[in-house]
Amino acid sequence: MNYRHAFHAGNFADVVKHIALVRILTYLHEKPAAFRVIDTHAGAGLYDLTSSEAERGGEWRTGIARIMQARFSDQVMALVAPYLDIVRAFNPHRDLTAYPGSPLVTRALLRPQDRLVACELEPNTRRKLIDALYNDKQARVVDLDGWTALPAFVPPNERRGLVLIDPPFESRDEFTRLADGFSVAHAKWPTGIYMLWYPAKDRRATDSLADHVARVANAGSRDARCLRIEFSVAPQTAESGLMSAGLLIVNPPWTLAEDMRAILHEVEKPLGLGGAGRFRVEALRA
């Protein structure tokens, strides 16, 4: 699978991923101590929804565009409002013309004591990310392969924070690299929060990844330290584009499972294609 993000920015997978990201960062705000976010495959930072790539894909129209128009209960609106406010900040004239990637979503929620390390190897994409974070003293853009950076930057000096691993899935062995990279990083920093994104097109590959991550995360513990979240806008087939995507979150905030169940229950209908979408949120044990 070749997941060139300029074609898919703002789609359902971005919406679910970034809502979860915002919930985690909001949780980290509950303690005054500084935290660090390490984004291993950061991307361009900001995506132009009027570009030829975005227009060609058009996935944002059934993703973030629908969510911006959706009606939520008071409970869920309180949970998703910080995410929606970040998107609106990049679209001051109300029309949706831009969508922030994970580095800019993260940057919007950094306090003065917090830091971001964003890794991006592809030169053109990295230049765009540098422009998006120009002269930002709290955000560092690193010219380094994400798989090399993953073990190199943990544990951070702050000892609190999140590692976001969101590779492009351009190579056949990406699931293996994701599992191996997480294992090495977790061995060095077992108390960090990890969020792993994956396309859910091959059930055998996704189940194998989830089993591996759960075994590593839960080793020596009776508690489930791995949360699996998947969302599907329509049945996934070999011929269709991306219809299902998932997140594995290690050491999740204790409120995250309940929050995400409430949120995803209310985004099933607006994000669904040809009917309501489907989701699952489950704690994984070894």
Convert 218-251 into a string of H (helix), E (strand) and C (coil).
Answer: HCCCCCCCEEEEEEECCCCCCCCCCCEEEEEEEC
Q: How far apart are CA 105 and CA 274, in angstroms?
A: 30
pLDDT band at 3 (very low <50, low <70, confident <90, very high): very low
Query: If you write DSSP's letter for every residue of 79-129 in order, what string do you get?
Result: HHHHHHHHHHHT-TTSS--EEE-HHHHHHTT--TT-EEEEE--SHHHHHHH
- For the cut 60, the answer to whether the pLDDT of residue 1 exceeds it is no
Contacts of 173 (CB under 8 A, 6+ apart): none
Whether a cis peptide bond, with omega within 30° of 0, leads into 155 is yes
Encode pLDDT of 32-87 as tens digits.
Answer: 999 999 999 999 999 999 998 888 878 999 999 999 999 999 999 999 999 999 99
Q: What is the separation, in whole angstroms, between the first and last Cα of the chain?
A: 28
**Predicted local distance difference test score (pLDDT) of residue 171:** 84
**Predicted local distance difference test score (pLDDT) of residue 4:** 60
- Dihedral (CA of 68, 25, 173, 286) sign: negative
The amino acid occupying position 173 is D
CB atoms within 10 A of CB 104: 27
Domain ranges within the chain, ordered by starting residue: 5-284
The amino acid occupying position 215 is R
Q: Which CATH class is domain 5-284?
A: alpha beta
Name beta bridge partners: 193. Answer: 162
Run of H or E residues at 105? helix 102-107
- For the cut 50, the answer to whether the pLDDT of residue 227 exceeds it is yes
Per the confidence metrics, is the pTM higher than 0.75? yes
**Predicted local distance difference test score (pLDDT) of residue 186:** 97
Question: Is residue 74 flagged as an active site residue?
Answer: no
Output b/e per residue, 126-157; b: 16+ Cβ within 10 A: bebbbebbeeeeebebbebebbebbeebbbbe
Contacts of 110 (CB under 8 A, 6+ apart): 37, 116, 138, 139
Q: Per the residue annotation, which of 166, 202, 207, 259 is the catalytic one?
A: 166
**Predicted local distance difference test score (pLDDT) of residue 245:** 97
Encode pLDDT of 130-169 as tens digits.
Answer: 999 998 999 999 999 999 999 999 999 999 999 999 998 8
Pairing between β-strand 226-232 and β-strand 278-284 as defined by DSSP bridges: antiparallel
Mean pLDDT of 224-231: 95
Residue 284 tokens, joined: 């994984």
